[in-house]
Amino acid sequence: MVVSENLVPLQIPGKLNLPKPDITFTVSEAKDGGADVTLATDKVALYVTLTTQASGRFSENSILMLPGKKVIHFFPFGPFSLAAFSSTLRVEHTQQYQ
């Protein structure tokens, strides 16, 4: 059973030659009252990071994303508005800043 995974790059992010991924996302209401963010990418994306003004935490963040789809869950702290969450959600990755 895998308990933890860590990506250890052999260079600082600024020196990596990263492809420019096309990352898209959709947001849906989760059964527990939070939100599910479905991410999709066509190329490898390093340190994909999600931020929002909504109060809560993501199930995973700052991740290595391989081509394909991945669902990240948002666990709200207190009252939650899916509209406010969706309108302030940002998805960023390392290649954007190279």
Per domain, the residue ranges of the chain are: 21-97
What's the confidence (pLDDT) of residue 4?
Answer: 82
Q: Tokens representing 61?
A: 């963040």
| 56 close to 74: Cβ distance less than 8 angstroms | yes
Nearest to 74 by CA among 84, 60, 88, 53: 60
How many C-beta neighbours within 10 Å does residue 64 have? 14
Identify the three-state secondary structure at position 14.
helix
pTM of the model: 0.90
Positions in the chain whose pLDDT score sits under 50: none
What's the confidence (pLDDT) of residue 13?
Answer: 87
| 34 close to 50: Cβ distance less than 8 angstroms | no
What's the confidence (pLDDT) of residue 63?
Answer: 94
What's the confidence (pLDDT) of residue 20?
Answer: 96
Burial class (CB in 10 A: 0-12, 13-18, 19+), 74: buried
Q: Does domain 21-97 have CATH number 3.40.1550.10?
A: no
